[in-house]
Amino acid sequence: MLPFDVLAVTDPLAWVLIALFGGGTLAERWRPDLARYAVGAAWGLFAVFWLLLAPFFFFEQNSFVEALLALVGVPACLYAGYLLVDGRDSLFVLSRAVAVMGLIYLPAETIPLVRELLVEHVASQTASLMSLLGYDPTLQPIGPERPAYEGFHAAFYFETPDPNHAGIVYNIIMACTGLGSMAIFAGCIAAVRAPLGRKLRALAVSISIIYVLNIIRTTFIGLAFGHQWFDGPYTPYLLTLFGESDPYMVSHIVAESVISQLLSVVALVGIAWFVIRELPELLVIIDDVAYMATGEDRDTASEIGLLPDTEEAVTEQSTSDD
């Protein structure tokens, strides 16, 4: 257990970060010198944000991977701030993207009413698809043995053959909404300077595909878990591998942690490829990340032949002072 409520600190800090990132990048055109310092300070605070969350992920959520990623984010944010202050103005694109991502995701993460509306909407759409497929889902289990996520009308209950088992509860939670992936794509698309038509096309296609695929994903996981589609002789091995004791969880593990996550990676790579083809200006973000990792400047758009095919496009170039 941590000695204090980390989220009580990181939630308001996140709003401060969005204000600094957003305000600093808006001032870029008029006062680039001050903007560099404002956004550089935002990256420094972003490092503090991840440093605070690292022990929370490890001790409260038992996630070694998330804790490790948070720790990696600390020096990465500090380095990004240093490079920006030092004159690498292309990092304003990534900074704008972070501001928009936060503006989309934070209301749902920090405001209970927004989170409830979003989670219950996804649960409702999942229930509709289950019904369309010929199933009769039971939403919002009642009673202490069948708790719903934050009390929302967003949990599915499935009976089991075992009379001594309380039944299977499949909860739709924030992580099931797909909002994180949508925020990443929307933030990156909004951040680049490119013709509005191309940006709107990339946004409409990417968000629509993520939304539809996410509802299919939550439906598949719910049905696989509730009807135990993947129960089999490998159950003891998967229970040991994932540190679970309930054999009913194996179908959930296979459906979510194996099948859905693998297919999600494939889908997101495909969506990213479409968006990059539509907006090659986004490759400046990859170039900046590559520079931070290797110290070498690259022009990925030229290397793979994805330069904008319109004279209206404005490609952001790296202007670091060596």
DSSP state of 175: G
Structure tokens given for 300: 């990925």
Structure tokens given for 137: 């889902």
Largest distance between two CA atoms of the chain: 71
* Length, in residues, of the chain: 322
Q: Where are the beta strands (DSSP E) in the chain?
A: 138-139, 155-158, 168-171
Calpha distance 99→31 (Å, rounded)? 18
Q: Which residues are catalytic?
A: 176, 217
Strand partners of residue 171 = 155
Three-state DSSP string of 268-285: HHHHHHHHHHHCHHHHHH
Structure tokens given for 42: 């935002």
98's CB contacts (< 8 A; 6+ apart) are: 17, 21, 46, 187
- Contact in structure between 126 and 215 (CB atoms under 8 Å): yes
Amino acid (one-letter) located at 304: I
